[in-house]
Amino acid sequence: MTTALREQICLLAKSMFDRGLTGGSTGNISARTDDGGLLVSPTGTSFGRLDPARLSHFDASCRLVDGDPPTKEMPLHTAFYDTRSAAGAVVHLHSCHSVAWSMMPDVDPDNFLPPMTPYAIMKLGRVKLLPFYRPGDPAMGEAVRGLAGKRSAVMLANHGPVVAGKDIEAACNAIEELEDTARLAMMMHGIPARMLDATQVRDLVTHFDIEWDD
């Protein structure tokens, strides 16, 4: 299973890289193993060229047992795993449209994405906009812990989104939905677009049993 998971992590990471969702050596990705450990993208690596055999491998006690040294954003990943029992994977990208939307002065920090389509609501719930932190700052992880597991996705201002999912495919699908919605928001900014209204949002939340802390 670990071999298949290693290959899936690298395949999905390369797919996101090839489509321009993160570039250079930016972004990081992790997933739970069957024994409670973690596989994590190493520090300084490109999503387009991850080697399955060199992924950072942690045991259930979060001790590095093999592979290269992990991303400096490990505090972000462990914060999600420690506060969300259902989290099976975490993805962090430097996707352009979501970063651009985080810079807009009229964005709601408690509900980062406007209600434009049902899919971001269904896959992400409310997305919390966190303030800017220096990359690698453990305070980012503390900020996620401060949410007490109530959010599956956060946006790091001027930096990029971080999303936890039940497995690696779900996390990747959700973070792509976040970027797509931010792109729509940038496209429609300043235009009196028809958004989903409060009744439609509540219907989605109720029908699909979505986490949605009011």
Selecting among 81, 119, 142, 179, the annotated active-site residue is 119
Selecting among 73, 176, 177, 179, the annotated active-site residue is 73
* DSSP class of 63: -
d(CA 94, CA 33): 25
Active site residue 133: no
Active site residue 73: yes
Pairing status of strand 38-40 against strand 56-58? antiparallel
Which tokens go with 6? 């290693």
d(CA 161, CA 61): 26
Which tokens go with 80? 């999600």
d(CA 10, CA 27): 13
- Residues involved in catalysis: 73, 119
